[in-house]
Amino acid sequence: MTELLSDPHTNKGSMLHVAPEFFFSNLFASHFRKVDTADIDREDVDYKEDLRRLSFPDATYDMVYASHVLEHIDDDEAAIKEIIRVLKPGGGIAILPVPINAPKTVDYGAPCPAETYHVRCCGLDYFDRYRALFDEVEVRHSDDYPAQHQLYKYETRDHYPTTEAPLHPPMPGNKHPDAVPICRKAA
């Protein structure tokens, strides 16, 4: 992510951090002139916002960062379109990772309380939704980085579905890579 933060288009610009992880605060503040935080429920943010209907004007931000958010939003297409709308044209960047917990994305139809109210279980194919709307999408995988920086989740997922997670599909293996999509708005 540091090379993205050094990108001349975004460096010292403006950023929207959705559902903010405050351990990123200093990092983002050191690379952006202005960092706004937003969440639909939390009180400790700059703006209470529904990602499906943002109140910001068009072309407000150079970057939008929303990690592990879209798997909670029923109308994710509306949210993605809103993110694109508030990004500045000519290279605005959105970093929108979701947890990859299935071989193929399964939409639940309603929030699943047993799965922290996810409305879907995402597979790598989920990023095709971004490709349909953004001008460019690059997905970086765990294996793209040196061994000391590779992120994997080590867990058994082949026992799904369970009583606690009745909609979660099984996924073979015990070592699961992470993937981070970098989405760009050209015009």
pLDDT of residue 164 exceeding 90 = no
Q: In this predicted structure, what is the pLDDT of residue 150? A: 73
Q: What is the mean predicted confidence (pLDDT) over 9-26?
A: 86
Proportion of the chain above pLDDT 70, given as a percent: 94
Please tell me the distance from the alpha carbon of residue 97 to that of residue 41, in angstroms, as a whole number: 20
Q: What is the mean predicted confidence (pLDDT) over 133-145?
A: 91
pLDDT of residue 26 exceeding 70 = yes
Q: In this predicted structure, what is the pLDDT of residue 6? A: 56
pLDDT in tens, 48-89: 999 999 999 999 999 999 999 999 999 999 999 999 999 999
Is the pTM higher than 0.95? The answer reads no
- Residue 142 — pLDDT band, cuts 50, 70, 90? confident
Any idea which residue has 């209470």 for tokens?
Answer: 48
Q: Report the mean per-residue pLDDT for the chain.
A: 90
CB of 160 within 8 A of CB of 105? no
Q: How many C-alpha atoms does 100 have within 13 Å on its Cβ side?
A: 25
Structure tokens at 140: 């970086």
Please tell me the distance from the alpha carbon of residue 156 to that of residue 39, in angstroms, as a whole number: 31
Q: In this predicted structure, what is the pLDDT of residue 4? A: 56
Domains of the chain: 2-100+124-148+179-185 (3.40.50.150)
In the three-class reduction of DSSP (H, G, I as helix; E, B as strand; rest coil), residue 60 is classed as: coil
**Nearby residues of 108 by Cβ (< 8 Å), 6 or more positions away:** 118, 119, 120, 121, 167
Q: In this predicted structure, what is the pLDDT of residue 11? A: 59
